[in-house]
């Protein structure tokens, strides 16, 4: 199977069960490097479950490959080390750390060997430069010293992206980056996402903001009741009857009768 060796993210037969409920049903999805892929669907369709399954935060069956590495048996932090980065719907920054510390902690996630370095090491110019570069990418220059909880929600989401990009990032999963943002912030975010994709890592974007997804994505997957019901271009998605029905519902004849 080519998915095992190709670059980019590939999932096959990814299935998540909660008790009797099948939250993800044999999902196959591909993200090539440099591509922005959208995953949309009505609330409760299983999109966040999918992100959790790919990144190892919920037990799942099936396969996940990133750049030829099989990740599905690894714990979350090992998947992150392999380049699979994610952001969270609710931001989930480390609220009482500064922006710089939020980014640094992802770039250098500690470990036994780090202790000696902590004791004898001097200065941290490399760290400061790393933080500056990461903040440049998301357009938050100068925010390094701010405590994360004092940022606006929009800024928090951007720091979340910067944190996900720090260190090795081969693929970026954005879980509802636009939720809670106002229209202007959402437009700014769309531009950032496109810029990041140009730089290299593929992006999987999960969002409810249809206009955002349709505007920035090269490919769109639509999920309903845990299944992929559509895969194709954003333009096609907009007019696909199944997609429209999933979002707006079908007219209720009986109620009018």
Comparison of 118 and 125: residue with beta carbon closer to other proteins = 118
Residue of 69, 74, 97, 229 that binds other proteins (CB under 8 A): 97
CA distance 78 to 66: 12
Of 168-197, binders to other proteins (CB under 8 A) are 176, 178-183, 186-187, 190-191, 194
Q: How far is the CB of 178 from other proteins (least distance, A)?
A: 7
Count of residues in contact with other proteins, rule CB under 8 A: 80
134 interacts with other proteins by CB under 8 A: no
Q: What residues are paired with 221 via a beta bridge? A: 39, 231
86 interacts with other proteins by CB under 8 A: yes
Of 22-51, binders to other proteins (CB under 8 A) are 42-44
Closest of 184, 188, 206 to residue 196, by C-alpha = 188
CA distance 156 to 240: 34
98 interacts with other proteins by CB under 8 A: yes
123 interacts with other proteins by CB under 8 A: no
Sheet order of strands, 69-70 included: 21-31, 9-18, 61-66, 69-70
140 interacts with other proteins by CB under 8 A: yes
Comparison of 1 and 250: residue with beta carbon closer to other proteins = 250
Query: From residue 254, how far is each of 162, 244, 250, 251, 257 by CA, in Å?
Result: 50, 20, 11, 9, 5
250 interacts with other proteins by CB under 8 A: yes
165 interacts with other proteins by CB under 8 A: no
């Amino acid at each position: 199977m080519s998915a095992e060796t190709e670059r980019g993210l590939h999932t096959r037969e990814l299935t998540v069960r909660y008790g009797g409920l099948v939250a993800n049903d044999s999902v196959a999805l591909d993200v090539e490097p440099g591509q922005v892929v959208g995953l949309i669907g009505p609330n409760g369709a299983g999109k966040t479950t999918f992100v959790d399954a790919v990144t190892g935060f919920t037990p799942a069956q099936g396969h996940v490959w990133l750049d030829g590495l099989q990740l599905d048996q690894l714990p979350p932090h090992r998947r992150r080390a392999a380049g699979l980065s994610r952001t969270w719907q609710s931001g989930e920054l480390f609220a009482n750390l500064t922006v710089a510390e939020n980014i640094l902690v992802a770039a250098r996630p500690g470990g036994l060997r780090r202790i000696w370095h902590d004791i004898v090491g001097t200065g941290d110019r490399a760290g400061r430069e790393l933080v500056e570069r990461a903040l440049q990418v998301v357009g938050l220059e100068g925010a390094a010293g701010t405590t994360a909880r004092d940022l606006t929600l929009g800024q928090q989401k951007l720091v979340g992206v910067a944190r996900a990009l720090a260190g090795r990032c081969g693929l970026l999963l954005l879980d509802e980056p636009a939720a809670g943002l106002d229209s202007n912030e959402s437009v700014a975010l769309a531009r950032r996402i496109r810029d990041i994709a140009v730089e290299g890592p593929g992006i999987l974007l999960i969002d409810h903001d249809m206009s955002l997804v349709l505007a920035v994505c090269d490919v769109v997957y639509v999920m309903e009741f845990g299944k992929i019901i559509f895969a194709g271009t954003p333009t096609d998605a907009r007019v696909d009857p199944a997609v429209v029905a999933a979002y707006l519902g079908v007219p209720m004849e009986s109620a009018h009768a």
